[in-house]
Structure 1
Amino acid sequence: VCFSLISPQRIRTFRRALLRWYRRRGRDLPWRRTRDPYAVLVSEFMLQQTQVATVLPYYNEWLRRFPDFSTLARASESNVLHAWQGLGYYARARNLHALAKIVIRKHGEVLPDKIDNLRALPGVGRYTANAVATFAFDRSVPLVEANIARVIARLFDVRDPIDSTRGRETIWRYAIDLLPARGAASHNSALMDLGALVCTARVPKCGICPVKKFCHAQNPETLPIKKLRPPPKELTEAHAFTFHRNRILLEQSTGRWRGMWILPRARSTSSSSPVYMSIFPFTNHRITLKIFAHPPPRVRTEAQRWFSIAQLASIPLPSPHRRAIEQLLARRLQKLCSTFAPA
């Protein structure tokens, strides 16, 4: 289907139908109530690879803690990672922190409004640059994220995998065709909400779709097409739980959770069973986390530190390690209580 073959009048009719629906049914999201470039940028970083429902409680708290580029640039990496804790993909937080420093140092505390300059900043790709340009600077540029890609793939019956080079470019071309000269922010938000609320991945609500007469999908649930992904790689990681004099030994990670505190790597596991196990996904891996009880080491490494239980709330800990620590501490408390319980 080539949208350029459809009359301009039909394109305008499509946009009007979409916007009428959006004004009645669109989501009221806090980042849509502002044009502040910093607030818009924060929301876009948080929404990369994270669902709206997860982001909502973090967004307002982040702006309370770091209300502008200057405050964020002055913050320590530890405080930034702690504020991001629970959102995952911590490279986003490090990139946002680095970006704030660049804006202060090179751009006079003002976020650039040109797309090429935005894309030169850490962590800003095609989508994020266009989103900031649209929502903060009122530029008429297209957006393609998961919801919009699904809507467009169904509207135009796109048969190329949308995660292939050809498929991605096809979706972007259609997004450009649909774009109005003015009001791009509302148009892009409307497409997103249509995908989130009506044109959903599973069981799309075609019966109430405001633009169903424009849709060329014969069987919408089969679209969009995606490339077959290889199964996740299985990894096992062994870490040590060392609790001594009401303190826990942690070490600062230099790996995937760089700058965060984690349980130290277990020195030896051959003669014991894990006291805790969990499985969690991380990018294209499926990681089995095994925790073993260890006595205090004779000598701590430079990366290791003892923390009181009270201090754990104020340091950045990745969720899998925080959950493990909380469960192991709860077990110790339960065991202690049962010891002193009356017979």
Structure 2
Amino acid sequence: MRAPQLTTLSVEVGLRAATAVAVPLLILFAVGRLDLAAYASFGAFTALYGRNEPYRLRIRSVSIAAVVLVATISLGTVVAALGEPLALLVPLLIVVVTLGTILAATFQLLPAQPLFFVFALLVCAAVPTPAHEIGLRIGLAALSAAFSWLLTMSGWLIRRITGTASNPVLLKELRRAPAVDTSAIRDARVWLAVAQNVVGVVVAGGIALAFGLGHAYWAVVSLVAVIPPARAAHSISRSVHRVVGTIIGVGLTVLLLFWSPSPLFVIGVIVVCQVFAEVLVGAHYGTALVFITPMALSVSYLSTTKVALSTLAVDRVLETVLGAAVGILLVLAARWIERVRGLAA
């Protein structure tokens, strides 16, 4: 894998995302409720949006992300309280992956895939949830998303007071200008991406369940992660990067957590990995996965102490390979469809 190149803006985004997840996790640690770590972490994903966008545009991107994340967390929490029935979860997954793909294309969101929306839905649906805690868990996610929203928009005031010219190194010019593309819903390439995701999540998730693999949602999340965004080139390199990066990341997780460290240490792992993941993801996806994987496994480790680390690690590798393999087949199929139908840009 080629060496990634870092930018000051990437470091800024990484530190912001780390702060967004660190504060709610430390509060949960203080009150003895780290079993709710997943809800705080997914709400904090709001801080991942709006990268390099002027604040008049960023407010739209971050607000859409916050609303959709809280909505998917809420749906997952209700499904969990009902006993995680597949008859309900599968249609909801299809709706989320479809709307997430269309929203990302219409509003030119970055990240440009429905990955985090799907991740939030499936993980929250898998966490055992007593009915009387539905409101608490959704409320926690909403508070975390609101805090992340404020954190992401906070630079507006700093820039307004000091001006970008006062510190051109730290206060970079914000150049990304996403427009609202109302033609996306009529674009055949967008619907091709929707079809890839819908078919892929059903196939990957179905295979994982049929073979009795634990944490079947990782196969689905891996599938969504390797399907290119709508209108993007269909390359299998993303799938290969995900497998290699994940395997290295699993090894790193085992080294960090095999000795059953304290919750504060695990929170530290999550925060540090969040920084490096955001710093590297724009430069090289496979390298970022070396840090994304320990972050995801550490959240699971905090939320579910009943599952052995070795089980989490093995499941993560097997289901990543499964999701990536299905993704590669769908990428190849999309190449063929684009060639036959003349959909390529």
* Greater gyration radius: 1
TM-score by shorter chain over 0.5? no
Structure having the higher strand fraction is 1
Q: Which has the higher contact order (CA 8 A, sep 6+)?
A: 2
